[in-house]
Structures are given as C-alpha cells and as structure tokens.
C-alpha cells in the first residue's frame, strides 16, 4: 500500500517554532484516531520557511486530508 506524506507549510520568522509545535498536534491526532502509521516530523527549509508533515496510508489519506487540511501532499 502506498504511503502519502501530507505537508503543512509555515512561513515567516517563527515558521520553525510553529512547524515544531504543529507536529505535536499531528502526533496527538494519530494517537486519538489510532492510525496505523506514526511517522511525523518537521523540517526547516530556510530561515523563513518550515514544514510539518505526517505520513498516512493511501486508504486513510482522504479522511485525514479532509479533517486536517494539509497544504499539499506527495508520495512518501
């Protein structure tokens, strides 16, 4: 089964802190929803752009996408 990386983009001087904090909420969502994968993270792209992400299975992607509204996604 394919895995999909859902991505939230954050921009500005505090983007890194926001992305890091957003990952906490993604982990909470995975725990509450009992999702089969527990892959999350955040990456600092540059001083004004950071991302938070979670990886879901293709079968869970639509439900998670509709609930959490990521900015974009890609095959993991």
pLDDT along the chain (76 residues), means of 10: 96 98 97 94 98 96 97 97
Q: What is the pLDDT of residue 76?
A: 95
Q: What is the pLDDT of residue 71?
A: 98
Model's pTM, two decimal places? 0.94
For residue 19, the model assigns a pLDDT of 98
The whole-angstrom separation of Cα 1 and Cα 16 is 31
How confident is the model at residue 33, as a pLDDT? 94
Q: Mention every residue, 6+ apart, whose C-beta is less than 8 A from residue 39.
A: 3, 54, 55, 76
Residue 1's pLDDT is: 85
């Amino acid at each position: 089964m394919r895995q999909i990386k859902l991505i939230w983009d954050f921009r500005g001087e505090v983007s890194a802190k926001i992305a890091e904090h957003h990952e906490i909420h993604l982990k909470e969502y995975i725990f509450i929803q009992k999702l089969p994968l527990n892959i999350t993270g955040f990456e600092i792209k540059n001083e004004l752009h950071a991302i938070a992400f979670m990886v879901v299975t293709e079968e869970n992607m639509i439900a998670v996408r509709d609930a959490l509204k990521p900015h974009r996604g890609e095959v993991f």
